[in-house]
Chains A and B, each alone.
Chain A
Amino acid sequence: MLQLKVNGQPRQVDVAPDTPLLWVLRDTLQLTGTKYACGQALCGACVVHVDGVPARACLTPVSAVAGREITTIEAAHQSRVGRAVQAAWRKLDVVQCGYCQSGQIMSAIALLGRQRKPTDSDIDDALSANLCRCATYQRIRAAIHEAARSLA
């Protein structure tokens, strides 16, 4: 049994310790907002926050995050920055298929958490780990600026 803290809630899981956090979230805890797309830390679809820092859940063994603060897209609205990012995403209709967007949003929230007024190149750096096959990149940039404005 491993003790996890997910979105503020204590959770106990009975899984092999090498299981990636991604599959524990999705299959064991039914938090399916965090997505699988590459399994190799190449695409960012699985980005969650561990102690406020973005992490790729597909290559994070669950044993490595026991007891630490894990935040997923399902709790994004619980922070002011999270709400601002979601609102900006909706205002600009960023999404297309939507499959990558949980990861994009979690990366964007982390960026705005540490940098309130990012430039285009800050955004390109911070979001470079997140692929979008629908190529919504131009709107992602615009939405992060929009969220930054609303937080100012």
Chain B
Amino acid sequence: MVNTKIANASRRSFLQGAAGLTLGFCLPAIAAPAGAGKAAAPAGQPFEANAFLRIGTDDSVTVIAKHLEMGQGSYTGLATILAEELDADWQTVRLEGAPADASRYNNLFWGASQGTGGSTAMANSWDQLRAAGAAGRAMLVNAAARRWQVPAGEITVRDGIVSHRRSKRQARFGELAADAAREAVPASVVLKEAKDFRLIGKQAPRKDSVDKTNGQAQFTQDIQLPGMLVAVVAHPPRFGATVRGFDASAARRVRNVVDVVQIPSGVAVLASDTWSAKKGRDALQVDWDESRSFKLGSEEIVARYREMAKSPGLVARRVGNTEQAFAGAARIVRATYDFPYLAHAAMEPMNCVIRLSERGCEVWNGEQMATADQSRLAAIFGLTPEQVRINMLYAGGSFGRRANTHSDYVVEAAQIVKAIGGKAPVKLVWMREDDMRAGYYRPLFHHALEAALDAGGQLTGWRHRLVGQSILLGSPFESMMVKDGIDAVSVEGAANLPYAIPNLLVDLHTPKDIDVPVLWWRSVGSSHTAYSTEVFLDQVARAAGKDPVAWRLELLADHPRHRGVLRLAAEKSGWGTRLPAGVKGTRRGRGVAVHESFHSYVAQVAEVTVAADGTVKVDRVVCAVDCGIAINPDNIRSQIEGAVGFALSAALHGEITLKEGAVVEGNFDTYRPIRIGEMPRLEVHIVPSTAKPTGVGEPGVPPLAPAVANAIGAATGKYPDRLPFRAEDLRA
């Protein structure tokens, strides 16, 4: 049995409370006291066991989710953890998005900040929600014991029913809710052992499936408030350009357009409906001041980065002595790789609804960084953060875009509200083109690698140089995650290369004069470092005459979890067996990659067919994942499947191109996610584990592109050195 102590910071106020019960509570590992001040409910009101759980007299069990549901299954996962310890009936469990309140709902890995990202939702909630569920259960049990005058130790709970076998009594949660609200919060709780789990590790159906299949799920895009205006904004044609002047006469003539206002990020047209606002925006004549705008194209940036890669950068990791290793090498292998800017292109373009009133500011949005956005809004409106109320909605994808360290689109919505003096609620809507051209891309990167092999074919040296913009410089995370000039997320996946190589050097150039806004994109640094390291390793293996799987296993002797997923993926994919030939003229190959990100381990084996003209079709991908205890195995499979498709979109087609500073791509005709016919057959296998759960939203992304590239290499002898793959590089 596991004992977890609960520090009840507000026990006294609870006991004295008169109007509603919200107990803040926290685990001993958390230094900060939980939110205080709890007013409390009279009898008959729902039982608010703590900040994460409310039980209604109608038996409903409401789990308060502090993390955004953007598709990754966080709501279902959070509910599973809590409902397991509560012994709730899964059917009665529902979810509610938490308000923005860092005192109760912070991400435990982020300090005093509430947010969703870095695949942390399950990992940071695991202990917290187990304790929350167990505390709620204990209070229900104590209430039943008091009512029935029996020892609490004889009471059992299952599927939302509290029973005492000897006296043949039982009660539903709802019948005990009012009494439970008057029970003391237990000082410590006993958690289940894994063998007793009834929901964790089983198939708990998604909680958002019904609403997302009947059109009822509420996204920001769907919010309509009385008197609300829709705003569509004319943004500058290049980053850094500003408004010199504008002519709104044609825009104002559009039916239903009610206002046109200048804001720091452009000119906003407000109308009573979306289409009119868009028509008005398109009719605007804006004179842009481009004197300080950024005017380089992608090609010039790549050329500049290649030049920079010729000189040493700041050292991110050094092991042994690479000078010596390369001087004494029998053979040196070299390669470079180029990665483009990538847009998140969530299906729901960015948007935000804000209403200002005497009481403060109310926001409707899917928030990945709720409390950071809250403080920014408070500053804009001259309010306290508590006066900014955020209603959490589903997000139609995000992939990192809604975790903007500068709150770009949220601030834009606020500036519009401010410009009209708060006279109406505003829904800011970005059209697809606005969304795609607004920046905050996965940064463009250039990598250069060299490996030294000795006469026996042993890998003795590895040098890896990266060139690319920093995401964290100038962000609130800078002090925490930029050390000695090295942005941790620029080199993650490269500096912590797991392979046993005696001499290793990883260095980094961070250009500071490229004014393209950049941001984390699903799997962040690993979205490029997994590619360069895993493809290069295959190229070196080929030079050394080694089998890619066997050699990796050998070099990963000290990394059992890497080995575990690698072995499983190799076995399930039939590694080492002959791949059936494709139709005449095509070339087929199988490739592997393994990568750890966000403390989860994923290996993938891809099978590809390369046509004579160089086009690539991915036929099958076998994935193995180790993310600790599998809270919801089906959601893990679903996330890895989605990650494969997301990563494949980038590998086959994904590229944001700048021409003289302007973004070329605007919609899905030029920035192409894969379509259904391009989706490979997929298998996802989960390594059984007793380790604490870690994330699955991102870790499926990094190994895909290198596994496919290595399959292409096996099929053609050519390893793509720029992304996305180009048919002209792979012609027979």
Same assembly: yes
| Interface residues, chain A, with chain B CB atoms under 8 Å away | 16, 19-20, 23, 26-28, 30-40, 42-43, 45, 72-74, 76-77, 86, 89-90, 93-102, 105, 123-125, 127-128, 130-141
Q: Is B345 an interface residue (CB 8 A)?
A: yes
Q: A127 — which chain B residues lie within 8 A by C-beta?
A: 676
Report how far A144 CA is from B75 CA in the complex, Å. Answer: 25
Q: A134 — which chain B residues lie within 8 A by C-beta?
A: 71, 347, 397, 642, 645-646
Q: B221 — which chain A residues lie within 8 A by C-beta?
A: 32, 35-36
A96 in complex: contacting residue of B205, B638, B648, B681, CB < 8 Å: B638
Contact present for A136 and B642 (CB under 8 Å): yes
Report how far A73 CA is from B635 CA in the complex, Å. Answer: 25
Q: With A77-B214, A136-B641 as given contacts, are A131 and B346 in contact (CB-CB < 8 Å)? A: no
Contact present for A90 and B210 (CB under 8 Å): yes
Contact with A along B393-417 (1 / 0, CB 8 A): 0111111000000000000000000
Q: A23 — which chain B residues lie within 8 A by C-beta?
A: 273-275
B679 in complex: contacting residue of A77, A95, A100, A138, CB < 8 Å: A138
Interfacial residues of chain B within 549-573, with CB under 8 A of chain A in the complex: none
Q: Which of A94, A99, A105 has the most CB of B within 10 A?
A: A99
Report how far A70 CA is from B71 CA in the complex, Å. Answer: 29
Q: Which of B70, B73, B208, B679 has the most CB of A within 10 A?
A: B679
Contact present for A31 and B275 (CB under 8 Å): no
Contact present for A97 and B346 (CB under 8 Å): yes
Q: Is B668 an interface residue (CB 8 A)?
A: yes
Contact present for B395 and A97 (CB under 8 Å): yes
Contact with A along B197-240 (1 / 0, CB 8 A): 00000000110111111111101011010000010000000000
Contact present for B396 and A35 (CB under 8 Å): yes
Report how far A123 CA is from B677 CA in the complex, Å. Answer: 9
Q: With A37-B347, A140-B676 as given contacts, are A135 and B209 in contact (CB-CB < 8 Å)? A: no
Q: B214 — which chain A residues lie within 8 A by C-beta?
A: 33, 73-74, 76-77, 86
Q: With A40-B432, A97-B394, A131-B673 as given contacts, are A32 and B206 in contact (CB-CB < 8 Å)? A: no
Q: A102 — which chain B residues lie within 8 A by C-beta?
A: 215
Q: With A90-B205, A95-B213, A96-B73 as given contacts, are A128 and B676 in contact (CB-CB < 8 Å)? A: yes
Q: Give A93's nearest chain B residue, CB to CB.
A: B206
Q: A86 — which chain B residues lie within 8 A by C-beta?
A: 213-214
Report how far A23 CA is from B214 CA in the complex, Å. Answer: 19
Report how far A95 CA is from B674 CA in the complex, Å. Answer: 17
Report how far A73 CA is from B212 CA in the complex, Å. Answer: 10
Report how far A72 CA is from B224 CA in the complex, Å. Answer: 19
Report how far A19 CA is from B277 CA in the complex, Å. Answer: 12
Contact present for B642 and A96 (CB under 8 Å): yes
Q: A33 — which chain B residues lie within 8 A by C-beta?
A: 214-216
A101 in complex: contacting residue of B213, B224, B648, B674, CB < 8 Å: B213
Contact present for B646 and A124 (CB under 8 Å): no
Report how far A90 CA is from B209 CA in the complex, Å. Answer: 6
Contact present for A38 and B676 (CB under 8 Å): no
Contact present for B397 and A99 (CB under 8 Å): yes
Contact present for A99 and B275 (CB under 8 Å): no
Report how far A49 CA is from B650 CA in the complex, Å. Answer: 32
Report how far A23 CA is from B219 CA in the complex, Å. Answer: 16
- In the complex, how many angstroms separate the beta carbon of B623 from the nearest chain A beta carbon? 12
Contact present for B71 and A98 (CB under 8 Å): yes
Q: How many residues of B contact A (CB 8 A)?
A: 62
Q: B206 — which chain A residues lie within 8 A by C-beta?
A: 93, 95
Q: With A35-B221, A96-B638 as given contacts, are A131 and B675 in contact (CB-CB < 8 Å)? A: yes
Contact present for B273 and A28 (CB under 8 Å): yes
Q: B641 — which chain A residues lie within 8 A by C-beta?
A: 135-136, 138-139
Contact present for B676 and A73 (CB under 8 Å): no
Interfacial residues of chain B within 248-307, with CB under 8 A of chain A in the complex: 255, 273-276
Q: A124 — which chain B residues lie within 8 A by C-beta?
A: 676-677
Q: A77 — which chain B residues lie within 8 A by C-beta?
A: 214
Report how far A19 CA is from B274 CA in the complex, Å. Answer: 10
Q: B108 — which chain A residues lie within 8 A by C-beta?
A: none
Q: Give A127's nearest chain B residue, CB to CB.
A: B676
Report how far A134 CA is from B396 CA in the complex, Å. Answer: 9
Report how far A40 CA is from B274 CA in the complex, Å. Answer: 15
Contact present for A99 and B273 (CB under 8 Å): no
Contact present for A95 and B208 (CB under 8 Å): yes
Q: Is B649 an interface residue (CB 8 A)?
A: yes
Report how far A77 CA is from B215 CA in the complex, Å. Answer: 11
Contact present for B347 and A100 (CB under 8 Å): yes
Report how far A28 CA is from B208 CA in the complex, Å. Answer: 26
Contact present for B72 and A95 (CB under 8 Å): no
Q: Give A102's nearest chain B residue, CB to CB.
A: B215
Q: B639 — which chain A residues lie within 8 A by C-beta?
A: 96
Q: A132 — which chain B residues lie within 8 A by C-beta?
A: 347, 645, 673, 676
A76-B215, A98-B213, A124-B676 known, 15 other contacts, Cβ within 8 Å: A37-B349, A74-B214, A90-B210, A93-B206, A94-B209, A98-B71, A99-B396, A101-B212, A132-B673, A133-B345, A133-B347, A135-B649, A135-B673, A135-B679, A139-B638
Q: Is B391 an interface residue (CB 8 A)?
A: no
Q: B432 — which chain A residues lie within 8 A by C-beta?
A: 37-40
Q: Which 3 A-B pairs have the closest CB atoms?
A: A33-B215, A135-B645, A99-B396
Q: Which of A72, A86, A132 has the most CB of B within 10 A?
A: A132
Q: Which of A73, A89, A101, A125 has the most CB of B within 10 A?
A: A101
Q: A141 — which chain B residues lie within 8 A by C-beta?
A: 676, 679
Contact present for B255 and A133 (CB under 8 Å): no
